[in-house]
Amino acid sequence: DKLHTALHEVIGHASGQINKGVGKPKATLKSYASTLEEGRADLVGLFYLYNPKLQELGLVDDWKSVGKAAYDGYIRNGLMTQLVRLEPGADIEEAHMRNRQWVSAWVFEKGKKDNVIEKVVRNGKTYYNITDYDKLHDLFGQLLKETQRIKSEGDYKAGQALVETYGVKVDQAIHKEVLERNAKFNSA
């Protein structure tokens, strides 16, 4: 998690360019600029977390284990865990929460054909199980490419569609389950 945050902040936010003649994201992408930038930075971190270069640089002992753990945690948080912060029936409003959901929901949907992430319900509890980390890595790369294109070109309609389709509405059945499962936990 700390390595993902470092990659997000240092490489993610410091990368990418706006095409010549395109205005700043606050002007072109408007209310979606923040969540798209946070998602883009997350995607940079996610893409590079699952890379042998991390081990070559001496940052980790086993790049695959680190990448898999990060992917597991990110998908679990984006699709479920972060929902404990919302009241029942609420939409996601906060930029970071939106980006975690639109990234996770997009790769979940786009990977369905190949069962990259399977939704498992066992004993009335929902789990998301990543079955193919290499394909998930590729999906993160595809989404990073599209998110950077949106930012570089100032494509408001594509940014709006991405966020509104995948990042705002909450699956109410999953939300109820998450709140019930979390009710026994009394820590802040």
pLDDT tens for residues 53-107?
Answer: 999 999 999 999 999 999 999 999 999 999 999 999 999 999 999 999 999 999 9
Sorted by sequence, the CB contacts under 8 Å of residue 39 that are 6+ apart come out as 98, 99, 100, 102, 103, 147
> pLDDT tens digits, residue range 106-165?
999 999 999 999 999 999 999 999 999 999 999 999 999 999 999 999 999 999 999 999
Max Cα separation, the chain?
Answer: 55
pTM: 0.95
Q: How confident is the model at residue 186 (pLDDT cuts 50, 70, 90)?
A: confident
Write the CA distances from 112 to 46, 83, 98, 107, 139, integer angstroms: 19, 22, 21, 8, 11
Cβ neighbours of 56 (radius 10 Å): 10
- What distance in Å separates the CA atoms of residue 4 and residue 39, rounded to the nearest whole number? 12
Q: Token digits for 125?
A: 């509890």
For the segment 68-81, what is each residue's pLDDT rounded down to a tens digit?
999 999 999 999 99
Provide, for the chain, the percentages of residues in helix, strand and coil under a 3-state DSSP scheme, each rounded to the nearest 5: 65, 5, 30
Per DSSP, the three-state class of 128 is: strand
Please compute the mean of the pLDDT values over residues 4-9 and round it to a whole number.
93
Residues in CB range of 93: below 8 A, 6 or more apart: none
Task: Give residue 188's pLDDT.
Answer: 66
